């Protein structure tokens, strides 16, 4: 058994099983058996089940949100959005089973057609920073394509995943179609990688662990999608709406206490407006509300654990200014802004995964692109400018999978999401996600007499 600790109060909020290898194997075998029937469910019936699942998630939005506040320390506003995102993603992919059509390809001597076939059992490994939405990004398109899913939540944050599995059963999904397996990554997650009946692994987490998973999957030529670390740049040009960019910058990095691989944790400010922008930024940071996440006014809660808090604090030196945070129980840290002395500063180069913003000035467009790309990561980022042409040029020049111009938005379930370089492999969400959980089968029919 494993105690689940609230990062808000440091108290035990639940005790959940930590499954063994044998229990994991049994669940995978059950998912494999369920796959044989689930893949043959009529497309319209599979779509109706997914929509019913979405409806139940929507009806339990407040329950799921409150559970996430207790387990993860997310603000109540964020947690409601996260549960709503699971609902929306399920509804979006509920449209896929009846539209997953192949092609008829002109060939000589007959007719050639392609089919999208499900892979089998898909293993989804979910991190602790966004337990609900990232679970949905994996299981919704996988189920829509006709696969069954075994899902391992993070040890720190299993509660909402377990509740979602209950709701799936209530919606009518058969036993074994969606199974949540709490436990250690070295046991449950590792078995997803090594078990031959798991045909694909979706992992969101650190680059270091992602590399090990990729190497393990290679042993069986097993498909893998990796959404890994980030050190995204927020680039502010002198011709931007500086007040708007400064007002949005704290949320772009301090949301979820900075525990976000898309966090714009490197702020690049054009030299000619550096001092002006830093003044505006300081006002925004000091106004950013880090408080009890159950409060409707909260914009940021605590870090997830004492270990994460200690890790983040190890990066902090030469602070420019900070916001505020509560005293007392909980893993609290104030939003913190540091001016980088060079691109070699540890806080500038490494993913901190906490509420720390590193700031550096740049001279011109070419310099901004060079500095933004001077990282092993390439997940997300923002560009602030009043020049449309510059926005297009810089967006094409920055090496990242997801960019926003005059916005800090990274994720929309209608559009692809994923990274380049060491930020990951493959894409989630968007119209093509179901194909990533399918195998293309080609069949030729001879018409020769």
**In the annotation, is 276 catalytic?**
no
CA 100 to chain centroid: 25
Q: Residue 166 corresponds to which tokens in the numbers above?
A: 């209950």
Catalytic residue among 202, 261, 262, 290: 261
β partners of residue 4 = 14
Angle at 300 between CA 412 and CA 18, to 5 degrees: 80
Residue 51, judged by CB atoms within 10 A of its CB (0-12, 13-18, 19+), counts as middle
Determine how many CB atoms are found less than 10 A away from the CB of residue 276. Answer: 13
Q: Which two tokens stand for residue 291?
A: 């408080």
Q: Rounded CA gap, 357 and 362, in Å?
A: 16
- Which is catalytic among the residues 68, 82, 227, 351? 227
Residue whose C-alpha is closest to residue 234's, from 373, 404, 382, 410: 382
CA triplet 155, 160, 166: central angle to 5 degrees?
A: 115
CB 325 within 8 A of CB 334: yes
H/E stretch holding 280 reads: helix 274-287
Catalytic-residue membership of 202 = no
| Cα 412–Cα 392–Cα 429 angle in degrees, nearest 5 | 20
CA angle (128 as vertex; 204, 8 as ends), nearest 5: 160
| Residue ranges with strand state E in 187-279 | 198-204, 223-227, 233-236, 266-270
Distance, C-alpha 204 to centroid of its chain = 6
**Active-site amino acid positions:** 227, 261
């Amino acid at each position: 058994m494993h105690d689940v600790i609230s990062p808000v109060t440091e108290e035990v909020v639940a005790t959940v099983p930590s499954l063994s290898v044998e229990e994991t194997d049994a669940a995978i075998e059950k998912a494999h058996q369920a796959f044989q029937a689930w893949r043959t469910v009529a497309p319209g019936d599979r779509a109706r089940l997914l929509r019913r699942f979405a409806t139940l998630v929507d009806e339990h939005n407040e329950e799921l949100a409150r559970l996430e506040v207790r387990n993860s320390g997310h603000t109540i506003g964020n947690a409601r959005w996260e549960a709503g995102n699971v609902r929306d993603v399920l509804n979006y992919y509920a449209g896929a089973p009846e539209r997953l059509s192949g092609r008829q390809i002109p060939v000589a001597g007959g007719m050639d057609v392609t089919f999208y076939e499900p892979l089998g059992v898909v293993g989804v490994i979910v991190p602790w920073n966004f337990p609900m939405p990232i679970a949905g990004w994996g299981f919704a398109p996988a189920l829509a394509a006709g696969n069954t899913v075994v899902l391992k939540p993070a040890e720190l944050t299993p509660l909402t995943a377990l509740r979602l599995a209950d709701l799936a059963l209530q919606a009518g999904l058969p036993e074994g179609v969606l199974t949540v397996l709490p436990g250690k990554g070295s046991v449950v997650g590792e078995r997803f990688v090594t078990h031959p009946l798991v045909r694909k692994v979706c992992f969101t987490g650190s680059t270091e662990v992602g590399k090990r998973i990729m190497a393990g999957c290679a042993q069986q030529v097993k498909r893998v999608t990796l959404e890994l670390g980030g050190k995204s740049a927020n680039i502010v040009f002198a011709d931007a709406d500086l007040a708007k960019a400064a007002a949005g910058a704290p949320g772009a990095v301090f949301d979820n206490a900075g525990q976000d691989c898309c966090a714009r944790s490197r702020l690049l400010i054009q030299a000619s407006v550096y001092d002006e922008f830093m003044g505006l930024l300081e006002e925004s940071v000091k106004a950013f509300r880090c408080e009890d996440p159950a409060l409707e006014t909260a914009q940021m809660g605590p870090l997830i654990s004492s270990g994460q808090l200690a890790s983040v604090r190890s990066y902090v030196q030469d602070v420019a200014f900070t916001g505020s945070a509560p005293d007392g129980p909980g893993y609290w840290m104030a939003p913190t802004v540091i001016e980088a002395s060079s691109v070699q500063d540890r806080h500038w180069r490494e993913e901190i995964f906490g509420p720390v913003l590193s700031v550096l000035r740049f001279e011109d467009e070419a310099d901004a692109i060079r500095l933004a790309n001077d990282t092993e990561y390439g997940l997300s980022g923002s560009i602030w400018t009043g020049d449309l042409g510059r926005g297009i040029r810089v967006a094409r020049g920055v090496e990242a999978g997801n960019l926003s111009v005059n916005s800090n938005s990274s994720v929309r379930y209608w559009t692809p999401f994923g990274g380049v370089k060491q930020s990951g492999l493959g894409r989630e969400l968007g119209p093509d996600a179901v194909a990533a959980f399918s195998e293309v089968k080609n069949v030729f029919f001879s018409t020769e007499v």
